[in-house]
Amino acid sequence: MKRLSILALLLVVFTVNAVAQKVEKFTVAGNTYFGNKAIPPEITGKYWYEKSKEPIVEINKDGSGFFQVHDVKAYPVEYWIETDATGKILKKKSNTNANYQVVLILKYGSNGETGWKGSKTGTFDRIEVTMAYDMGYAIILGERFRKL
């Protein structure tokens, strides 16, 4: 009976982990990428252009959030972290400190705008996130900052 309980527990843990780590396939600008919703908690939060103003980026732990391009109302977006086909996060690590860089894949929802100000709706994009521990900031696209 004890073995059966342990086996059942292992099966539940494996199933929960497999669901949480579901790998999805994306085509962005004609290239194929993989990603999942296992966004590291240190990446989540609100990022500000030049540390204090719009446009913003907001990443929530469930993969939802916002992405604002310059001079346009923020788009609601869905985020995935880029992985290999097996679900391993692709991470560029520094050779000299704890800094690292990852890529997020995002899908733009409707921001309620028309014309060029709403043209990203339904499209995918990729953005770089740098965890610059030596500077005390997480940085998106080299211009949007969140204090660590």
What type of residue is 63? Answer: G
Looking at residue 2, its pLDDT comes to 52
Looking at residue 20, its pLDDT comes to 52
DSSP assignment, residue 89?
A: B
SS3 128: strand
Q: Rounded distance, CA 73 to CA 143, Å?
A: 18
Q: Which parts of the chain register pLDDT below 50? A: 4-19
Altogether, the residues listed in the chain come to a count of: 148
Identify any residues that bridge with 31 across adjacent strands, giving them in sequence order. 28
Nearest to 130 by CA among 140, 117, 119: 140
Phi, psi dihedral angles at 125 (to 5 degrees)? -150, 170
pLDDT in tens, 111-144: 999 999 999 999 999 999 999 999 999 999 999 9
Q: What is the pTM of this model?
A: 0.84
Q: Rounded distance, CA 122 to CA 140, Å?
A: 21
